[in-house]
């Protein structure tokens, strides 16, 4: 059950709020339609309910506000707009990725595919889906965690009659199974046909809160649809007979050959046409909108009214919702906004002057939640698209060509040949590829926010960051090892075995190469997370050798009167930890790498980017 009370958006400058004091209920086991035009504020109401934008009011989902639900996806399934997934990801891969985010078994993806009828399209790319298939996938994403409540913004908008009927059947089935369904629409006929309860908005205000039957009586009226080549003459004849019989009748000219007759029946219209010899091509009962028609034929006084007049005598403001949990506020006993809000804010705000009405409690736009299984989510996100594979193959091909060129010149040491790192390049191709993959890990999140489809922002949580760091590090290690192996094989095939003889200190060189690749990957990752862009992440990575390395090299070139010799031994004494003998060699290697211009610049860059990421994350939480 949904209980919304006092929903009000924040006003913009001198303009009135888009939504002003909207209160309604959507009961369990029923389908509720939120009806209104383009400027009625339907989407804003949903965003206020889901705490996606700041404002005032309170919304309870089965007695609890959304921010007090531990796992909101298992309580409320949301469909707002199109599915914002990567266009290169498959339907099944997208759902499996969201399974890790929602903390449900991966088998749930196949179950949902059967429910929404997408089993045959499970390997289809998201970018190739039609409008109807995209709506099906969006409903599948909302149903993935088996929520009790569905909140959907115009789910059948733009669909064919067949696809729209399927969507409405799915919503009805969810309600009949004990769930709550709330959807928005701008079609009054759709609301009357599909919903059990209709809440009507007009210019951000509630103008009607009715059962579907009452809504159909006041908002929709039965009519007789007539098509005739002599429509104008038939309209005059019907009007004359209505005046003679003192009956209320309204004839509306829809187009050249079509009439809509309100207040009559097919039998009466057919008899009039037969008596006067008027040819009829169509005669059928329909349900029409009670809005003002475009053309009128003069007739007897009618009972036609617009929306505000139709609901003016039937709308009673809904009582404040009764909370279903102790933490919900008590229901208001007196009508009106002030009395309702006093009960909602009792115990949380101080009493004010009786002349000034109290405001509803504020709504804070809360950041998106982290995936419940971040490591599994990140692995499926990384392997679900072809970008990583294409990047790796491109890096291996470029590295092989550069290796042949460097070996042909004969002036490049073996470590640089195996890494395919000419002196003219700021970074080796493998290091740049690792940085690009790291930047894509956050850049794709901001470009295609599948993780936060309803909030439009990527959660800045430590668990998600650690998962991305682990996956990026693993990818960088695999890419570094594959590059060296490929380059060594190419050198062995082209120039023979004597070119690929490894030096004695190859383990230290290999470790340095792996650490360089991992550091570049992390730099691209953190930069993309801070600047919210893949391009910015790659630019920040290239700025390290181009901008920072010359500065660090100049600082390190200055003479030093102190020496760090014996640092591993002193660290062992300070930490009181006995590590293996090779631990001293490893620490010495790290110190040597940091002392190099590239290593020092990367360490400085990683430290600055990590601090910036943590600061921006803390700032988003404090809002």
Using CA atoms of 153, 157, 162, 163 in order, give the dihedral in degrees to the nearest 10: -50
Boundary residue ending a domain (308, 323, 338): 308
Check residues 41 and 496 and name the one with the higher pLDDT: 41
Helix H or strand E encompassing 121: none
Residue 238: the pLDDT is 92
Domain count, the chain: 2
Could you tell me where the DSSP H helices lie in 126-160?
Answer: 131-143
238 falls within a domain? yes
Going by C-alpha positions, the residue among 165, 170, 216 that lies closest to residue 192 is: 216
Q: What are phi and psi of 130, to 5 degrees?
A: -75, 175
Q: What is the mean pLDDT of the chain?
A: 82
> Does 289 score more than 70 pLDDT?
no
Most confident of 192-201, 208-217, 493-502: 192-201
Domain match, 304 and 394 both:
no
* Residue 53 in domain: no
Q: Are residues 414 and 552 in the same domain?
A: yes
Residue 27 has pLDDT above 60, yes or no: yes
The pLDDT assigned to 152 comes to: 95
CATH code, domain carrying 267 = 3.30.70
The angle, 0 to 180 degrees and rounded to 10, between the axes of the packed helices 597-622 and 534-543 is 140
Share of the chain above pLDDT 70, in %: 79
Inside any domain, residue 358: no
pLDDT at 510 over 50: yes
Q: Give residue 175's pLDDT.
A: 96
Dig out the tokens for 507 from the structure: 């383990």
Final residue in a domain of this structure, among 288, 308, 328: 308
Residue-wise pLDDT tens digits, 341-373: 344 444 433 443 344 456 789 998 887 788 889
pLDDT at 296: 36
State the pLDDT confidence band at 315, using cuts at 50, 70 and 90. Answer: very low
**pLDDT for the residue 511:** 86
d(CA 180, CA 590): 59
Q: Does position 564 have pLDDT exceeding 70, yes or no?
A: no
pTM of the model: 0.75
- Ranked by mean pLDDT, the top range of 38-42, 391-395, 560-564 is 391-395
- Comparing 41-50, 196-205, 253-262, 516-525, the range with the smallest average pLDDT is 253-262
- Asked whether residue 568 is assigned to any structural domain, the reply reads yes
- Please say if the pLDDT value at position 425 is more than 90: no
Say what the pLDDT of residue 227 is.
92
Backbone torsions φ then ψ of 29, nearest 5 degrees = 80, 10
Residue 575's pLDDT band, with cuts at 50, 70 and 90, is: low
Instruction: Clarify whether residues 608 and 532 are in a common domain.
Output: yes
Position 247 in a domain: yes
Do 419 and 528 belong to one domain? Answer: yes
Whether residues 242 and 383 fall in one domain: no
Q: What's the gap between Cα 339 and its chain centre?
A: 37
Distance CA(119)–CA(578), nearest Å, equals 58
* Residue 338, domain member (yes or no): no
Task: Look at residues 268, 291, 308 and tell me which one is the last residue of a structural domain.
Answer: 308
In a domain, 122, yes or no: no
Same domain, 600 and 483: yes
Residue 452 has pLDDT above 50, yes or no: yes
Same domain, 478 and 591: yes
Determine the Cα–Cα distance for residues 419 and 429; give it in Å rounded to an integer: 8
* Residue 375 predicted with pLDDT over 70: yes
Q: Within this chain, do residues 489 and 592 fall inside the same structural domain, yes or no?
A: yes
In this structure, are 274 and 385 located in the same domain?
no
**pLDDT grade for 314, boundaries at 50, 70 and 90:** very low
Q: State which of 79-93, 316-330, 544-558 shows the largest mean pLDDT.
A: 79-93
Q: Are residues 613 and 477 in the same domain?
A: yes
Q: What pLDDT score was predicted for residue 619?
A: 60
The values of phi and psi at residue 76, to 5°, are -130, 120
What value, to the nearest 5°, has the Cα angle with vertex 178 and ends 176 and 183? 75
Q: Could you tell me whether strands 197-202 and 2-9 are parallel, antiparallel, or unpaired per DSSP bridges?
A: unpaired
Per-residue model confidence (pLDDT) at position 412: 81
Query: For residues 404 and 294, which has the higher predicted lDDT (pLDDT)?
Result: 404
Provide the residue range defining the domain that includes 506.
Answer: 374-622
At residue 621, the pLDDT reads 55
270 and 418 fall within a common domain = no
Q: State the average pLDDT over residues 588-597.
A: 68
Q: Identify the pLDDT of residue 458.
A: 76
- Identify which has the larger pLDDT, 381 or 368: 381
Residue 294 lies in a domain: yes
Write the CA distances from 200 to 18, 161, 171, 307, 338, integer angstroms.
15, 23, 19, 9, 22
Quick one: 295 and 384 in the same domain?
no
């Amino acid at each position: 059950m949904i209980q919304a009370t006092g929903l009000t958006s924040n006003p913009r400058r001198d303009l009135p709020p888009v939504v002003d004091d909207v209160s309604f209920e959507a009961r369990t086991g029923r389908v509720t339609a939120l009806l209104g035009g383009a400027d009625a504020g339907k989407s804003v109401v949903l965003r206020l309910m889901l705490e996606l934008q700041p404002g005032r009011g309170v919304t309870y989902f089965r007695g609890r506000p959304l921010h007090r639900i531990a796992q909101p996806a298992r309580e409320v399934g949301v469909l707002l707009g199109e599915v914002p997934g990567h266009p290169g990801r498959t339907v099944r891969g997208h759902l499996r990725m969201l399974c890790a985010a929602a903390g449900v078994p991966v088998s749930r993806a196949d179950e949902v595919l059967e429910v929404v009828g997408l089993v045959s399209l499970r390997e289809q790319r998201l970018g190739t889906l039609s409008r109807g298939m995209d709506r099906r996938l969006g409903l599948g994403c909302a149903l993935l965690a088996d929520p009790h409540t569905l909140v959907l913004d115009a789910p059948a908008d733009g669909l064919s009659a067949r696809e729209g009927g399927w969507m409405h059947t799915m919503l009805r089935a969810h309600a009949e199974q004990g769930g709550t369904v709330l959807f928005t629409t701008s079609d009054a006929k759709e609301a009357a046909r599909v919903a059990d309860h209709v809440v009507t908005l007009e210019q951000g205000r509630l103008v009607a809160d009715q059962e579907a039957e009452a809504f159909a009586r006041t908002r929709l009226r039965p009519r007789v649809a007539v098509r005739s080549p002599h429509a104008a003459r038939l309209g005059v004849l019907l009007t004359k007979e209505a005046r003679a019989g003192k009956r209320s009748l309204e004839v509306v000219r829809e187009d050249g050959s079509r009439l809509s007759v309100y207040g009559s029946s097919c039998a009466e219209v057919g008899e009039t046409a037969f008596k006067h010899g008027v040819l009829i091509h169509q005669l059928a009962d329909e349900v029409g909108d009670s809005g003002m028609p475009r053309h009128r034929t003069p007739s007897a006084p009618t009972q036609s009214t617009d929306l505000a007049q139709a609901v003016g005598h039937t709308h009673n403001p809904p009582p404040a919702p009764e909370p279903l949990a102790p933490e919900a506020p008590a229901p208001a006993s007196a009508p009106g906004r002030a009395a309702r809000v006093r009960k909602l804010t009792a115990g949380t705000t101080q009493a004010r002057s009786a002349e000034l009405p109290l405001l509803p409690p504020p709504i804070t736009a809360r950041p998106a939640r982290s995936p419940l299984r971040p490591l599994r989510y990140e692995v499926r996100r990384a392997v679900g698209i072809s970008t990583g594979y294409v990047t790796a193959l491109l890096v291996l091909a470029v590295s092989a060509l550069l290796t042949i060129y460097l070996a042909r010149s004969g002036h490049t040491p073996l470590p640089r040949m195996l890494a395919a790192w000419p002196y003219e390049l700021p970074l080796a191709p493998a290091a740049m590829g690792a940085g690009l993959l790291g930047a894509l890990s956050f850049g794709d999140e901001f470009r295609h926010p599948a993780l936060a489809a309803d909030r439009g922002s990527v959660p800045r949580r430590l668990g998600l960051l650690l998962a991305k760091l682990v996956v990026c590090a693993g990818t960088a290690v695999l890419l570094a090892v594959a590059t060296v192996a490929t380059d060594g094989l190419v050198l062995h095939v082209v120039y023979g075995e004597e070119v690929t003889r490894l030096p004695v200190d190859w383990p230290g060189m290999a470790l340095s190469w792996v650490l360089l690749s991992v550091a570049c990957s992390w730099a691209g990752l953190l930069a993309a997370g801070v600047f919210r862009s893949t391009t910015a992440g790659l630019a920040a990575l290239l700025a390290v050798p181009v901008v920072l390395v010359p500065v660090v090299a100049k600082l390190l070139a200055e003479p030093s009167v102190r020496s760090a010799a014996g640092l591993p031994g002193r660290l062992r004494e300070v930490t009181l930890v006995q590590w293996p003998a090779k631990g001293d060699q490893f620490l010495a290697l790290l110190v040597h790498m940091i002392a190099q211009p590239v290593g020092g610049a990367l360490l400085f860059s990683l430290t600055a980017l990590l601090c910036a990421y943590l600061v921006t994350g803390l700032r988003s939480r404090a809002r």
